[in-house]
């Protein structure tokens, strides 16, 4: 195995630590970018395809855990879930939404979760989730902004918040 492949293996193993640290995800993503550029210059398309397959693992590496479409469907079947769509209102209007989801753009998540329950209800016409809620899911189109929103929620004490793996793009495509 060449140096590039060894580096890729090492970087990919970082995401298996499940550390709730956005710093780890950012660092890993930076290394991945360098590896992709190196592969392009060296003409190593096999390594590039391998890295692209694992891109979603990097997107989720900063969260405690992600939730798949199937897991979210099961959660929704058991009862109400707090599903927050962190895309822009224009994206939601253009591409659609998960039924029952509430749109809170990613840049508003911190302020929204800091609202008192009554102010949250008035602004979003929905119940504010409790910090211990197990049914709290964030999503965007692909995963990056959902991950950021999930990290914000975790930092505010919503320790069981999850990010929908693959975002709305995967949700709508299957």
Of the candidates 155, 171, 162, which has an alpha carbon nearest to the alpha carbon of residue 69?
171
- Exposure string of 105-134, with b = 16+ CB inside 10 Å and e = fewer, is bbeebeebbeeeeeebeeebebebbeeebe
| Two tokens, residue 20 | 């709730």
* Distance of alpha carbon 88 from alpha carbon 85, whole angstroms: 8
Q: What is the helix (H) or strand (E) element at residue 14, kind and residue range?
A: helix 3-14
Q: Does residue 37 have an active-site annotation?
A: no
Strand pairing class (82-85; 66-67): unpaired
Q: Which of 109, 140, 149, 165 is catalytic?
A: 140
Point out the residues that are catalytic.
140
């Amino acid at each position: 195995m060449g140096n590039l492949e060894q580096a890729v293996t090492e970087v990919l193993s970082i995401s298996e630590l499940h550390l709730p640290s956005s710093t780890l995800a950012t660092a890993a993503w930076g290394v991945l970018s360098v590896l992709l550029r190196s592969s392009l210059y060296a003409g190593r398309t096999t390594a590039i395809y391998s890295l692209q397959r694992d891109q979603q693992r990097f997107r989720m590496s900063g969260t405690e855990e992600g939730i798949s479409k199937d897991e979210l469907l099961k959660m929704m079947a058991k009862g109400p879930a707090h599903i927050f769509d962190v895309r822009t209102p224009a994206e939601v209007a253009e591409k659609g939404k998960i039924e029952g989801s509430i749109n809170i753009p990613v840049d508003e998540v911190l302020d929204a979760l800091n609202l008192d329950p009554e102010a949250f209800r008035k602004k979003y016409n929905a119940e504010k989730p409790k910090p211990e809620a197990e049914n709290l899911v964030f999503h965007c189109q692909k995963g990056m902004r959902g991950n950021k929103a999930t990290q914000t929620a975790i930092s505010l004490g919503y320790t069981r918040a999850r990010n929908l793996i693959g975002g709305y793009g995967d949700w709508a495509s299957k």
